[in-house]
Amino acid sequence: MSASLINKNVNDWLNDHGDYLYRFALARLRDPHQAEDAVQETMLAAIKSDNFEGDSSARTWLTGILKHKIIDLQRKQIREQPLSDLIDLDASDTSLDDFFDKSGHWLDKPQTLDMPENALEQKQFLSILSGCMDKLPAKLAAIFMMRDVHEVDNENICKELDITATNAWVMLYRARMGLRKCLEMNWIVG
């Protein structure tokens, strides 16, 4: 496809796919400004790219670019934290013991948590969970979003973040421990 034809389409792309791409990004980054940045970066990369295949839809192609831009932003979010924070996250980190006594038993036994059946309560449940995600430390939130929301596999998380598999699973473990504790504290078990 010639460069001029691509340029001609760019304005249509923002009109036709901008909101879709924004929702896609917001669902994975949870921050409106970051999601806007991701869409903008995607558009700019699309202009410069010459590998648009006419046989894939523009939306599919743009979404492919956006996925990488989202990971770039998440990586930045995690890297911007002081390195010492990452080093603290090895398996001997004592804060993992907060939930357990010395012999490895639960200090507070996990409670039953179920997805409520009625729609209104489901909405409340999901909104409490959203609030809990926003309360996680930024670095843990970013790796959790990358893994459980953006569904990047562990191998690629380690590659993207340049961390060991142990670091990755300790961070994910801490994020999930934090979320379940927050849910237990904020969701009234019926």
Tell me the window of 54-62, 64-72, 76-84, 110-118 that interacts with another protein (CB under 8 A). Answer: 110-118
Answer yes or no whether residue 163 interacts with another protein by CB under 8 A.
no
Structural tokens at position 109: 């036994």
Answer yes or no whether residue 14 interacts with another protein by CB under 8 A.
yes
Q: Are 95 and 178 in contact (CB under 8 A)?
A: no
Answer yes or no whether residue 86 interacts with another protein by CB under 8 A.
no
Q: Are 25 and 38 in contact (CB under 8 A)?
A: yes
Answer yes or no whether residue 52 interacts with another protein by CB under 8 A.
no
Binding site for another protein (CB under 8 A): 7, 10-11, 14, 18-19, 22-24, 26-28, 36, 39-40, 43-44, 47-48, 96-97, 99-100, 103-106, 109-115, 125-126, 129-130, 133, 147-149, 153-154, 168-169, 172-173, 176-177, 179-180, 183
